[in-house]
Amino acid sequence: NAGVTQTPKFRVLKTGQSMTLLCAQDMNHEYMYWYRQDPGMGLRLIHYSVGEGTTAKGEVPDGYNVSRLKKQNFLLGLESAAPSQTSVYFCASSWTALNQPQHFGDGTRLSIL
Amino acid sequence: QQQVKQSPQSLIVQKGGISIINCAYENTAFDYFPWYQQFPGKGPALLIAIRPDVSEKKEGRFTISFNKSAKQFSLHIMDSQPGDSATYFCAAAREGGGADGLTFGKGTHLIIQP
């Protein structure tokens, strides 16, 4: 059972480039989340989805877009990468918000030069 | 505005000792308080969680103590072992509210010395 899989695991971008981070879960979870983790800042919610075809903004959504075209996948896009977006990105999923816990992937380490 | 404050930022404990990490929250609507454990290069994993209808929950060597009136909760790790060395995050959520994820503390880097 793979759980939550994130691809890629590492990526280096130049300022202004675009890319998409992919999250896939095989637990049939309804809810999916994208967080960023920065030193001394804990994890902060970027966007989340309560089901296929739905998305919503979290605490720090600026500069990111998301899509949930299939229940098992949640994509995070950076249209024009900025150095401030250098971070470790974590995807998580859960059955519902009423039934925690959230299951996390192992992260994507993204550097913007 | 930081809604969940976690302390200490780092902690060194001798093997066999008790590790204590504290968190305080501001939003009285929070009604679910999990602790996550994170090893280097890995995502956080749920360790133990509590809801405000109980003051304490114990699972093996891990105990959460919850003080609703003080809006504080803490993690106690008894008989701490080198394998417990990790970063620990407290979190809070409105389980009865929306699906807007968890509000995390900033984390505690725990080192257990052999």
| pLDDT bracket for residue B29 (50, 70, 90) | confident
Q: Best of A21, A31, A37, A43 to disrupt the B interface by mutation (most B CBs within 10 Å)? A: A43
Picking from A55-59, B10-14, B92-96, which range would have the lowest pLDDT averaged per residue? B92-96
Helices first, then strands: H and E counts in chain A? 0, 11
Mean pLDDT over residues B46-56, rounded? 92
User: B60 to each of A106, A113, B68, how far by Cα in Å?
Assistant: 25, 45, 23
Q: CB contact, 8 Å: B98 with chain A?
A: yes
Closest CB to A106: pick one of B43, B93, B102.
B43
Q: CB contact, 8 Å: B48 with chain A?
A: no
Q: What is the pLDDT along chain A (113 residues), one digit of tens a residue?
A: 679 999 999 999 999 999 999 999 999 999 999 999 998 888 999 999 999 999 999 989 999 999 999 999 999 999 999 999 999 999 999 987 665 678 999 999 999 99
Q: Which residues of A102-113 are buried (b: 16+ CB within 10 A; e: fewer)?
A: bbbbbbbbbebe
The answer to whether A19 and A13 are in contact (CB under 8 A) is yes
The Cα B40–Cα A70 span in angstroms is: 30
Q: CB contact, 8 Å: B77 with chain A?
A: no
N-terminal to C-terminal alpha carbon distance within chain B: 38
Q: Best of B100, B103, B108 to disrupt the A interface by mutation (most A CBs within 10 Å)? A: B100
Which pLDDT belongs to residue A14? Answer: 96
Short-list A68, A60, A74, CA closest to A4:
A74
A57: tokens are: 């903004």
